[in-house]
Amino acid sequence: MRTTGAVLLALLAIGGCAKDETVAAYGGADKVWRVVEIDGVPFGENATLTFPASGQIAGDGPCNGYSAEMTAPYPWFDAGPILATKKLCPDAASETLYFEALENVSLSEVLRDTMILSTPEGRSIIFKAGG
């Protein structure tokens, strides 16, 4: 009986030590990422991305705040579905472009203050940290 209890305790301890393997753990965390380009076109609106907790993303689109789950291990990226507030604003088309791109990217790369989210087909979102 003691052996079974010890084994169960050890398994619980291992499960509780799960390490974040997402892009957040590979340079994405503790920064506010600002969108500068989508699909090779400069993005003139304000949109951000953060990693507030393991397995989560959040930020602001040009109109609304948003959040989503993101648990794919680095270098993969898989966010969605995106949950956003529903305020109307003149930048709705830009926000739709950003949210659709964010839901479709599947790869991530972080190099210092630049993060690139992309697809094998060539779509991309380029972010800069801060500012």
- pLDDT tens sequence for the chain (131 residues): 454 444 434 433 434 445 789 999 999 999 999 999 999 999 999 999 999 999 999 999 999 999 999 989 999 999 989 999 999 888 899 999 999 999 999 999 999 999 999 999 999 999 999 85
Distances in Å between the Cα of 118 and the Cα atoms of 17, 52, 124 are 30, 21, 4
Residue 94 lies in a domain: yes
Q: How many structural domains compose the chain? A: 1
88: in domain? yes
Q: CB neighbours of 4 closer than 8 A, spacing ≥ 6?
A: none
Structural domain containing residue 61: 20-129
Q: Is residue 2, in this structure, part of any structural domain at all?
A: no
Residue 120 C-beta-side C-alpha neighbours within 13 Å: 2
**Domain CATH number, residue 107:** 2.40.128.270
Report the run of H or E that residue 36 belongs to, with start and end.
Answer: strand 33-38
Domain annotation covers residue 11 = no
Element (H, E) at 104: helix 92-104
